Amino acid sequence: MIIFPAIDLKEGQCVRLIEGRMDSATIYSRDPGSTARAWQEQGAEFIHVVDLDGAFAGQPRNRASIMQIVQSVSIPVQVGGGIRDMETIADLLNMGVNRVILGSAAILRPELVAEACRRYGDRVLVGIDARDGMVAIQGWGETVSKTAVDLAREVKQLGIKRVVFTDIRRDGKLSGPNLAATAELARASGLKVIASGGVASLDDIRAVKALEADGVEGAIMGKALYAGTVKLAEALAIARGEDATC
């Protein structure tokens, strides 16, 4: 299982939100590159980056910060937020980003998802963000009449192999991930799933790891790491199966 430390970018700074509300931002760092480097030094094998301004604007707004992150680490970086055309996908991948995550585009431009999969294969993911089981897009500001499971099945037909699943109600609240919905999504779609939203403790990491057989292959961690309630090294040990309590 992979642990993905998250770097959420707002106006070039590393922040955390609650339920995706921009007015709830807490600034944790003004230097995204050094933040990414610190996670790598603590053992991270992959970094998860979200361009929050881009998600709301519909096009990237933190390109310089993303480039800074990529240039600061030797581990792979995946990026989402406002990626809605092929030019942006190509730009990010050419910059050195390892994987791009399409969110709203999966609803608004499914043909883009299909074309991106044809060109770039499993370097393209879809982010499925759900509020009470229903998909939310446009920076989580709009809920559409489609369930997370239905969207997962649709993007699989377009060529997607892996999704990031976020329960919006849990995001940034340290309330624990929605394990039941995450497992259901993996089983119902047959896709590989990265869990996001609410991971708050080592027990949460153990619970997500227990879903590996269902197809859940990773967990994104944000606030718990920044607030210090979980040490990355301990989470990584659990993810590798080196948990002394098991």
Two tokens, residue 151: 């969207």
Look up the pTM and report it: 0.94
Each of the 246 residues of the chain gets a pLDDT tens digit; together they read 999 999 999 999 998 777 657 776 789 999 999 999 999 999 999 999 999 999 888 889 999 999 999 999 999 999 999 999 999 999 999 999 999 999 999 999 999 999 999 999 999 999 999 998 999 998 777 899 999 999 999 999 999 999 999 988 876 656 789 999 999 999 999 999 999 988 999 999 999 999 999 999 999 999 899 989 999 999 999 999 997 664
Is 204 catalytic? The answer is no
* Structural domain contains residue 243: no
| pLDDT score of 26 | 85
Q: Which domain holds residue 230?
A: 2-238
* Structural domain contains residue 104: yes
Q: Name the catalytic one among 129, 167, 171, 204.
A: 129
Q: Name the catalytic one among 8, 51, 53, 204.
A: 8
Transcribe 24-75 into DSSP letters: EEEEEES-HHHHHHHHHHTT-S-EEEEEHHHHHHTS-S-HHHHHHHHHH-SS
Rg (CA), the chain: 16
Query: Is 114 strand, coil or helix?
Result: helix
Q: How far apart are CA 15 and CA 96, in angstroms?
A: 23
* Structural domain contains residue 54: yes
* Structural domain contains residue 214: yes
Is 8 catalytic? The answer is yes
Quote the distance between the C-alpha of residue 179 and its chain's center.
16
Q: How far apart are CA 102 and CA 177, in angstroms?
A: 21
Q: How far apart are CA 33 and CA 11, in angstroms?
A: 14
| pLDDT score of 24 | 66
Report how many helices (DSSP H) and strands (DSSP E) the chain contains, helices first.
11, 12
Query: Is 206 strand, coil or helix?
Result: helix
> Which helix (H) or strand (E) segment is 184 a member of?
helix 179-189
| pLDDT score of 245 | 61
Quick check: 54 and 78 in contact, CB under 8 A? no
Q: How far apart are CA 160 and CA 108, in angstroms?
A: 16
- CA triplet 24, 175, 50: central angle to 5 degrees? 50
| pLDDT score of 22 | 74
Transcribe 129-145 into DSSP letters: EEETTEEEETTTTEEEE
* Structural domain contains residue 245: no
CATH of the domain at 193: 3.20.20.70
* Structural domain contains residue 61: yes
Number of domains in the chain: 1
* Structural domain contains residue 153: yes
Quick check: 70 and 106 in contact, CB under 8 A? no
| pLDDT score of 139 | 76
| pLDDT score of 141 | 76
198: left (phi over 0), alpha (psi -120 to 50) or beta: left
* Structural domain contains residue 246: no
